[in-house]
């Protein structure tokens, strides 16, 4: 396999990693984790989501947290927040966030479960969002691209239709998500080949969960298919609260270790990242899916 010189890793732990943890995480603890991730040299980070607290109580401090990290680290990190609708996008803008993730599930059934909208309704809201917040950088997360907990396999044609709609609306980025971690390397290659052949000029990123232990293998196939940006979560935290059976993300430290061991640069400090994993284990969740959380400290990457 021809390997790239470098790969970009986007940290999503403070959002996707924390969202399905039931016990309240103090804002100061969240900020301490984010500080560790900044010190580990992440340049892009998804820090919270602007959703109704009744839907995801863990995100009720979104405004406070966003304002704090933007004010403190805006010269070091491009912060992003997930939003389900125009209301959330406006709240993010008011909190100083200038890059957001808007989510549409490739599966209509999961879209209804996740954001209580049909595809048509989600696209209408996305179009209005771009109109009312023209200076907001918008990344579209296409969830359940590789499988849905309600519908099973999702047709590539359906995914491509949503991608085309996002292009028509001027969306800057599209991330393809394996929301419940059911993808296998063969499927990753088939789906990416079909999508990139239809949109050869478009760059995509991947958000992969490790539910069945195939996350890192899927990353390698993604790299083979030309993907250069991957989203991961510190300590392997995460999982969609509205997707039965969804488990954690690929652990950021596991991916950094694998890539750096292969001679692929990430620009990240593995030692500091592992120190941040310790904060997660000691203050948030004591049992982790991360492999690097349980090995001896290594030389800094």
Instruction: Tell me, yes or no, if 240 is annotated catalytic.
Output: yes
**Ordered DSSP codes for 159-225:** HHHHHHHHHHTT--EEEEEETTS---HHHHHHHHHHHHHHSTT--EEEEEB-TTS-HHHHHHHHHHT
Task: Give the pair of three-digit tokens for residue 270.
Answer: 């593995």
Q: Give the C-alpha separation, 234 to 46, whole Å.
A: 12
User: Which among 242, 45, 248, 20 is positioned nearest to 144, based on CA atoms?
Assistant: 242
- Name, in order, each residue with C-beta under 8 angstroms of 140's C-beta and a sequence gap of 6 or more: 101, 102, 103, 104, 126, 162, 166, 171, 173, 174, 175
Q: Is 270 in contact with 51 (CB distance < 8 Å)?
A: no
The rounded distance, in Å, linking the Cα atoms of 19 and 33 is 14
In this structure, the number of other CB atoms found within 10 A of the CB of residue 24 comes to 11
The three-state secondary structure class of 81 is strand
Token pair listed for 113: 């479960």
Burial of 150 (0-12, 13-18, 19+ CB in 10 A): middle
148, 225, 240, 299: which one is catalytic? 240
Query: In 104-115, which positions are buried (b, 16+ CB within 10 angstroms) versus exposed (e)?
Result: bbbbbebbbbbb
Residues serving a catalytic function are 240
């Amino acid at each position: 396999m021809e390997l790239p010189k470098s790969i970009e890793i986007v940290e999503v732990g403070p959002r996707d990693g924390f969202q399905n943890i039931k016990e309240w995480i103090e804002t100061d603890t969240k900020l301490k984790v984010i500080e560790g991730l900044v010190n580990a040299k992440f340049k892009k980070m998804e820090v919270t989501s602007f959703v109704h607290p009744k839907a995801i109580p863990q995100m009720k401090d979104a405004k406070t947290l966003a304002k704090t990290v933007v004010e403190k680290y805006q010269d070091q990190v491009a912060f992003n927040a997930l939003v389900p609708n125009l209301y959330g996008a406006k709240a993010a803008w008011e909190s100083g966030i200038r890059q957001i993730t808007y989510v549409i599930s490739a599966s209509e059934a999961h879209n209804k479960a996740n954001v209580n909208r049909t595809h048509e309704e989600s696209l209408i809201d996305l179009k209005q969002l771009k109109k009312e917040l023209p200076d907001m950088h918008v990344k579209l997360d296409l969830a359940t691209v590789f499988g849905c907990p309600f519908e099973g396999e999702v047709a590539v044609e359906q995914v491509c239709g949503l991608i085309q709609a996002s292009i028509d609306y001027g969306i800057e980025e599209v991330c393809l998500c394996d929301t419940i971690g059911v993808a296998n390397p063969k499927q990753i290659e088939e789906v990416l080949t079909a999508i990139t052949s239809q949109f050869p000029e478009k760059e995509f990123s991947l958000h992969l969960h490790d539910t069945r232990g195939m996350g890192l293998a899927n990353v390698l196939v993604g790299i083979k298919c030309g993907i250069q940006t991957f989203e991961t979560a510190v300590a392997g935290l995460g999982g969609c609260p509205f997707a039965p059976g969804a488990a954690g993300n690929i652990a950021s430290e596991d991916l950094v270790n694998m890539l750096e061991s292969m001679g692929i640069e990430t620009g990240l400090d593995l030692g500091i990242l592992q120190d941040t994993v310790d904060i997660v284990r000691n203050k948030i969740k004591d049992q982790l899916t991360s492999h690097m959380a349980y090995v001896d400290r290594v030389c800094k990457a």
